[in-house]
Structure 1
Amino acid sequence: MTASASSAATPQYPHGLNHRQVLSWRNAIATLFTLAGFSFASWVGRIPTVRDTFDATHSEIGILLLGLATGSILGLLVAGRLVERWGARVVVGVCMLVFFAALAATGITVGVLGSFVGAVFTLAVLGVSFSTYDVAINLSGAANERLLKRSTLPILHGFYSLGTMIGAGFGAAAEVLHIPLALHLIVVAAIAFVTGLSVLRFVLPETLADAPPNTQEMAIASGAMSAPKVRSVWREPRTLVIGVIVLGMAFAEGTAVDWLALAMVDGYDVDNALGTLIFGVFVTAMTATRFLGVRALDRFGRVPVLRTSAGFAALGLLLVIFSPSVAFAIIGTALWGAGAALGFPVGISAAADDPKRATARVTAVATIAYGATLIGPPMIGVLSDYVGVLNALLVIVVLTVLSGLLSPAARELAGRHSHTAPDFASPGTTSAAIILATSELQVISADDTPPPAAHR
């Protein structure tokens, strides 16, 4: 091979980066995604133990989960600006410290102190730090993806799901071995923090993937030119319908994360360890579907994938709710997980079809979808106290069926394969809005000239 041929085969990157640095960056982000899933699932898998500790009603568990969701929203309100000001690596480092400390503190507050109010507070802190961490690693992953010039975010989110599988396995083992909640979560936090610190040094500034600003952007930054106004997307029927689609599918995913283990324990009278393992079945099905789903989207397009996903989720939920045995409920759990895996990323891709309005539309869709994580936990909790936890899940069946019926709204605007949008699927679903908003120097209206090719 000649020197010129070898040079042509080696990818060229800006700012003097070499291929090894870019791949190390990608691998570090994949590890950080895995740690996020591992840590969060470790908490979720012990929810039945938390319920037993407090002898709590389903409504009270809903209050705990509402504290977590409220903290997540607060984090999302500031995450974009923090990343924009300090960079993803600094934000990830600080959030790791706070997040893992809050995880350990939750274990101590519940398992040692037995304080319900204290648990609500520590879970709120956990939510703030987790959602901010989630935004930062998504933004860094998106920058790395631009350098590699191929879709890697779907795989990164697959690593998140892989982490949830590992966390669910650890949780089940902790239940079987009767390991105290505080010790379990402290160990998880310590492992995750040390591992996170060891890979954080490979995360590079996301600005290394950005092209220099064009003349218009520099004029706006200097104040010599006003930024173009963005028309409201809240009056666009297609955007709103896509928001409803994503709402239903996000509800299906989020409710499983919060309630599935407890639903198995209370609805089928299994022990806490088996309930946690069944939650592991759900996240395993999601993981496999996220890794393989890109091929289905490429081959069949969004609408068939959405319809099939909604159908699997609804069928799985019905099996979980009405199954005559635990074995059939486990099959239903797998179908539920597979069905819930792709709804959010497909909806985000649909909202981002027009790159000139992608930021505004994705923000609107993600805002609608995140309502599921805010209202879902307490609503299911209240309903469970009246009709039972399994029957309360019928609400999700209705929403997933509605998502399937509305799926034609997500059809590709300019051909099935004409546009590939990044996948932002994860329990931190509103990350997509913040990532897109903070990775653009400006928002342009539909009437403006598209940015130069160097920015794409």
Structure 2
Amino acid sequence: MDRNVQRRTRALFVYFFVPGLTLASWVTRTPEIRDAIGASVAQMGLVLFGLSLGSMAGILMAGRIVAARGTRFTALLGLSMVLASLVTVAAGVLLGSQFVAGCGLAFFGLGMGKTEIAINLEGAQVEEILKRPILHKLHGCFSLGTLSGALVGLALVSLHVPVAVHMAAVAVLVAGLIIAFRHDIPAKNGIQTAHDRAVQTAPKASVWQDSRVLLIGVIVFAMALAEGAANDWLPIVMVDEHGFSAASGSLIFLAFTAAMTLGRFGGGVFLARYGAARVMRACAILGGAGIAYIIFGNNPWLAGIAVIMWGLGTSLGFPVALSSAGSGGGDSTARVKAVATVGYLAMLVGPPGLGFVGEHHGLRSALMIVVLLIAVAALTARAVSPRTA
């Protein structure tokens, strides 16, 4: 592997890791954050709505920022906002303010939206250079970040370390990682030339007019929503609906992230042997079955197994969909950007909507929406089969 490509890939591994670490750092403390700011389920949904607003803005702005300043600038800008979110959430907890905590999650969503679009575009280009799949491993680093964050979170919950101290410590680590790898992604990659802009403004069909891309969008929406629902609500569901302690809720989230990490790093073997469509269908069925038990079951041990099924089942949905969108001829960058946008909107914007449903009908009932969408993904999984140019 060329040295520059190697450094670029290493930086992408780190920059996928950082948002996962940050996400898990506050997700594992959501029951304590909720109590500190005095939020009900509906009010917590409003706090998470800050995440939704930030995410929508970040995702929708990312394409223009990449075109004007490049993927590296966009990723670093987004990661700086992710860093700021940790400090703001800590301030919200210290002040007991739902508004400040919501602003912290808005910063996280805004930063993650920009970062993830930029680094997924980078990852898709690296796949083209290497001529082999790598996005599932990059997303595996995001899951590794969530796993690491969940491990630390579980330990700090058990040690009764204040949430604000936890957030501050993670902020210092994140700042160091951002600075250390800031030069390893090409500076001008993704910037549009005058010719590119002329081609872009010329009349052409939308990528969504391609029925295959549309079906991939449906699949990624369902699978990303399942992942986002766990990231935002799993500890609270296990504490409020299944009677787990706060520490046990963090442990359950740890099991979920471990399953996600295992699925993403180990999934390449199954993709090579069985193909993307069969793996996607099997993942959807497995994940849907796990979520269904969380909804209808009550045995704590079986609920733990169901959470592992949930994690394994949703692990490959997002990266496989992105790789499939990038395969074949034509404007693969536009397809990857479109599918990534749908996926991140589902993962970051969808879960707060589940919170509003959960306030009126219970979080278990809200998760039925996710199960129904995953069933659709299983039925349409054939769309992720590779398409040649």
TM-score normalised according to structure 2 size: 0.90
Partner of 1:136: 118
Residue 241 of structure 2 aligns to a residue in which SS?
Answer: helix
- Does the 8 A contact of 1:321 with 1:391 survive in 2? yes
| Deviations 1:29-80, CA, capped at 9 Å, x for gaps | 2122222211121011111111212332212111111211210121122223
- After superposition, the C-alpha distances for 1:187-224 in whole angstroms (9 at most, x for unaligned) are 101111123212324444364x99xx9xxx88x3696x
1:20-419 to structure 2, matched below 5 A, reads 20-109=3-92, 111-205=93-187, 207=189, 220=195, 228-373=202-347, 376-414=350-388
Structure 2 gaps of 5+ residues are none
Q: Give the distance between the partners of 1:386 and 1:221, measured in 2 at CA.
A: 49
What secondary structure does 1:231 align onto?
A: coil
Distance 1:143-1:239 versus aligned 2 partners, 3 A rule: closer
One-letter amino acid of the structure 2 residue matched with residue 101 of structure 1: A
Which amino acid is 1:116 matched to?
Q
Label 1:408 to 1:96 Cα distance change in 2 as closer, same or farther (>3 A).
closer
2:130 and 2:354 map into 1 onto residues whose CA distance is 42
For structure 1, which runs of at least 5 residues remain unmatched after alignment? 1-10, 12-18, 420-456
Q: CA shift at 1:125, angstroms?
A: 1.9
CA contact 1:105–1:122 (8 Å) conserved in 2: yes
Q: Secondary structure at the match of 1:106?
A: helix
CA contact (8 A) 2:52 2:352 kept: no
Give the superposition deviation at 1:356: 0.8
Counterparts of 1:91 and 1:233 in 2: how far apart (Å)?
23
Paired AA for residue 91 in structure 2: I
Match of 1:356, SS state, is coil
Does the 8 A contact of 1:244 with 1:369 survive in 2? no
> Residues 299, 228 of structure 1: CA spacing in aligned structure 2 closer, same or farther, 3 A cutoff?
farther
Q: In the alignment, residue 80 of structure 1 is paired with which amino acid?
A: G
CA contact (8 A) 1:144 1:206 kept: no
CA displacement at 1:128 relative to structure 2: 1.1
Q: Secondary structure at the match of 2:118?
A: helix
Matched residues in 1 for 2:304 and 2:37: separation? 27
Matched residue SS, 1:393 = helix
The alignment of Structure 1 onto Structure 2 pairs a total of residues equal to 389
CA displacement at 1:404 relative to structure 2? 0.8
Rounded Cα–Cα distance in structure 1 between residues aligned with 2:119 and 2:210: 31
- In 1: Cα distance, 2:125 partner to 2:384 partner: 26
* Per-residue deviation, 1:232: 3.0
Deviates more, 1:326-335 or 1:35-44: 35-44
Seen in structure 2, the aligned counterparts of structure 1 residues 342 and 221 have a Cα distance that, compared at 3 Å, is: closer
Alpha-carbon separation, structure 1, partners of 2:95 and 2:38: 14
Letter of the structure 2 residue corresponding to residue 106 of structure 1? V
* CA distance 1:271–1:308, change in 2 (3 Å): same
How far did 1:119 drift?
Answer: 1.7
Structure number with greater Rg is 1
Q: Which has the higher helix share?
A: 2
Identity %: 37
Quote how far apart the aligned CAs of 1:93 are: 3.6
Question: 1:143, 1:206 within 8 Å by CA — same for their partners in 2?
Answer: no
Cα distance change of structure 1 residues 256 and 107 upon mapping to structure 2, 3 Å threshold = same
397-406 or 231-240: bigger deviation: 231-240
Describe the superposition over 1:106-144 as per-residue Cα deviations: whole angstroms up to 9, x where unpaired.
1111x2111111222222122112222223333444455
The alpha-carbon distance between structure 1 residues 275 and 90, as it changes in their structure 2 partners (threshold 3 A), is same
Conserved 8 A contact 1:64-1:123: yes
Separation in 1, partners of 2:206, 2:77:
35
Amino acid in structure 1 at the alignment position of 2:367? L
Distance 1:93 1:370 in 2: 18
Corresponding position of 1:433: none
TM-score by length of 1: 0.77
Let me know the Cα RMSD of the aligned residues. 2.7
In the alignment, residue 79 of structure 1 is paired with which amino acid? A
**Offset of residue 250 of structure 1:** 1.4
Amino acid aligned to 1:69: S
- Structure 1 pair 175–359 and aligned structure 2 pair: CA distance change class (3 A): same
